[in-house]
Structure 1
Amino acid sequence: MARVSGRPIWAIAVFGALSLGGLAAAGAVMVPGRQDAAVVPSERPAQPVRVSVIRFAAVGQVARYTGTVRPRHEVGMGFRVPGKIVSRSVEVGDRVVRGQVLARLDDTDARLERELAEAEAEAARVDHRRALAEVERSGRLFAEGHVAQAALDRAVSVEAEAAARLDRAVRASELAGNRLGYAQLVAEVDGVVTATPGEVGQVVSAGLTVVSVAQAGALDVVFALPETERGHLAAGVARGTVWGEGGDALALRLRDISPDVDPVGRTYRVRMGLEAPAGAVALGRTVTVEVDLVAEAPAAAVPLAAVIDDGTGPGVWRVQGDRVERVAVEVVSISGEVARIRGALGEGDAIVSLGAQKVDPGRPVRVVETRPMAEG
């Protein structure tokens, strides 16, 4: 038998026949339309899903800020004359009443000035009495013809000048008495001492604040408002809750907003009147301020996992029968694991609430659980 490269020709022929047969068999499996081709299922199994039913509710957003209780009227009291403080009878937190002495200056010089003014006033009175007596005597002599009219006129002029000097001396004595009284710092209102910048031994100028007193009664809550949220207070209803107290919220009323924004924090300083009974809230307490914003269009609270975003914007899967369709939505807000949405959804529509990211819209779905709508 003939050989090719050392192999029998019949062996080569048999190997070739087997190879062709294998190719033919493979082609029969891969070529579509062949009776002996592999059968592919035309319907894939349904996807199990959990759904929630849409329920719309009005959106009532609340803005929260942290403030401090401050007096509505706070008076910085200082001496009306310069001097050295020799005593201060109050400390921060003390309650004071109108007319109470808060501090005193060294009044040695003021007493000497008053005594000098009183002595000058007494000398002026003596001169005035002598001038009156001279006018009376000159009048009698003129009537008897012993002196001329000029002498009488001169006596009247001297008396008028003495009267003017007396008036000036009396007023100077009163001013000296006032300056002596100014050496005492007296409370002008009932209230609570909030600051005492003046210390004993300090030499102060006139008008420098020595004691600050918060007027009793009306209180304010002061807090910082971000410049982007100034419009929140335009029509909102505000209330305050004192930290550490479980009582009812206290009504707040907007009093003023600073016209300029703080250059560092970019915030406005806001003062709100605190409507509370006298003595109900102490100065300096921390208050949580809540402002109810203007209600917006209704929105539905859904689990955050129900919202999908495939690059075309947020949406949800609405379940209709055993199929799902994508519905575009607007995300109003997100709080924790809950999102509030609006869109072309109706009350009572069922949406996929869990595993929405893995849903294949080309496959049927099978509802395995229906859960109530998320609390938002």
Structure 2
Amino acid sequence: MSINTDPDGSNPSSSSLHSEQASTRPSYQDMKAQNQINQINSGKFSLLVLCVSSFLVLIVLILFSGDKTATAFADEQSLIIQNAKVNVQSLSIQPSYIKQRKVYGLIESAKQANLGFELSGVIDETPVMEGERVVKGQVLATLDKQRLFAQRKELDATLVRAIADATLASLSAKRTAELVNKRLEPEQRLDEVNANLNAANALVNEVKARHESLDVELRKSSLVAPFSGQVVQQLLDVGTVVTTGQAVFSLMAEMDLEARIGLPTRSSLALNLGQRYELNYAGETLSATLISIATQRNRATRAVDALFKIDAQAAQKRYLMSGDLVSLSVDVEIEKQGAWIPMSALSNGVRGLWTLFIIDKSSGTQIIQPRSVSVEYMGQERAFVSGPIAQDELLVVSGLHRLTPNQVVQNMQVINTARN
């Protein structure tokens, strides 16, 4: 077996292998550069760790210092609040309270009537129309008077005949009296003649009375306005046959206006007849005088009706009309136990309730205790509340935003009592 060798006697395969190994081995410069890179990376990492550690230590120091500062500030504020003056007032428990309530009523005419004839007949004329203003005594309608005129002519003739008969009886009585004096006629004849004279005179009076009665019927055949006002409604027209008392017109007085207001029983007892009160109409006040209070309840409203006479000038100035709505503010007593407190003593609660701060002295110290109460009535400056409150308890009336439950209060000032 033969082995190929180079001219110099060396093995060519071994030579190439050594050259490849020499080419893959890192040089000294490369190793030095790599060491420098590793040193730089190690320095950056150490610097990063140092920065993060310093930052964490700084945060811990800040938090620790801030906690001490906050604690000191809270203690200082607590001391300030404890020493601050707290305004309180004593509660006065009452069995009821009075609140203002608006009651409403309607303007109505003091005079309003449905007008009709006192006689039956046929409507002959209606000189006024619906909505027209009339004065007292003005003719509104007339009945057909032909039958009455015929009766008057008949009575005129009857009266003439009765007067003639009476005149004849008078003359006969005079002649008979002369004959009796001459004893030519008996006295009985004189009595008969005098009786006939009396009967004739009575007939004359009867006919005159019937004539006057007919004149009354003629006047009643004209429907006149009993007072000045406005024709609100015309119920029947010309040619209608009417019966006695059947309404033809509805008349209402314009200037004499009244307000009928239904009042609660206790409120009506507090009003005085003849006293002036202020009614409210369309946002304006209206002066009125109380003229009557009913002695029984209205069956529909179960209230007590009160009548107020409206001042005529005020009614005309505000163009008041029948049917307008007015209101009156009255005091109503509500039976509910509680106390009046200022609005500044209330703070928002939960579930529709409100919160009060009460000073509790049962433990020997003055501690603020919250109480949940219901507001029964709220006015402009104070409210009536009910709930777990007792007589003469001290109520904090101002500065609630500075106080917290279970806080000790050392400096208090009682400003007044919470009485109605």
2:327 matched to 1:293?
A: no
The structure in which a higher percent of residues are helix is 2
5+ residue gaps, structure 1, are 1-42, 47-51, 365-376
Cα displacement (A) at 1:125 = 0.8
Q: Deviations over 1:329-359 (max 9, x none)?
A: 46231589x9653754547444369xx9xx8
Map of 1:69 onto structure 2: 107
Q: Which of 385, 400, 406 is equivalent to 1:351? A: 400
Question: 1:262-273 residue pairs with structure 2 within 5 A?
Answer: 262-263=299-300, 265-273=301-309
Map of 2:12 onto structure 1: none
- The one-letter amino acid paired with 1:241 is N
Map of 2:287 onto structure 1: 250
DSSP-derived class of the 1:279 partner? helix
2:270 matched to 1:235?
A: yes
d(CA) in 1 for partners of 2:384, 2:231: 50
Q: Which of 129, 148, 168 is equivalent to 1:110? A: 148
Cα displacement (A) at 1:138 = 1.5
Map of 2:316 onto structure 1: 279
Q: Which of 286, 297, 316 is equivalent to 2:356? A: 316
- TM-score normalised by structure 1 residue count: 0.65
Question: 1:167-182 residue pairs with structure 2 within 5 A?
Answer: 167-182=205-220
Structure 1 ranges of 4+ moved more than 6 A: 52-56, 294-297
d(CA) in 2 for partners of 1:352, 1:108: 94
Q: Deviations over 1:160-206 (max 9, x none)?
A: 11111111111011111111111001122223333433433332222
2:367 matched to 1:332?
A: no
Q: Is the 8 A contact 1:193 1:214 kept in 2?
A: yes
260 and 234 in structure 1: CA distance in 2 versus 1, 3 angstrom threshold? closer
252 and 149 in structure 1: CA distance in 2 versus 1, 3 angstrom threshold? closer
DSSP-derived class of the 1:171 partner? helix
- The one-letter amino acid paired with 2:278 is R
5+ residue gaps, structure 2, are 1-70, 76-85, 92-96, 361-365, 409-420
Q: Is the 8 A contact 1:254 1:271 kept in 2?
A: yes
Cα displacement (A) at 1:113 = 1.9
DSSP-derived class of the 1:102 partner? strand
Q: Is the 8 A contact 1:240 1:287 kept in 2?
A: no
d(CA) in 1 for partners of 2:268, 2:129: 37
Cα displacement (A) at 1:110 = 1.8
DSSP-derived class of the 2:320 partner? coil
The structure in which a higher percent of residues are strand is 1
Q: Is the 8 A contact 2:140 2:225 kept in 1?
A: yes
Q: Is the 8 A contact 1:318 1:351 kept in 2?
A: no
Question: 1:139-158 residue pairs with structure 2 within 5 A?
Answer: 139-158=177-196
272 and 162 in structure 1: CA distance in 2 versus 1, 3 angstrom threshold? same
**Greater shift after overlay, 109-118 or 211-220?**
211-220
Q: Deviations over 1:310-346 (max 9, x none)?
A: 9xx86424599x975123546231589x965375454
Percentage of identical aligned residues: 19
DSSP-derived class of the 1:146 partner? coil
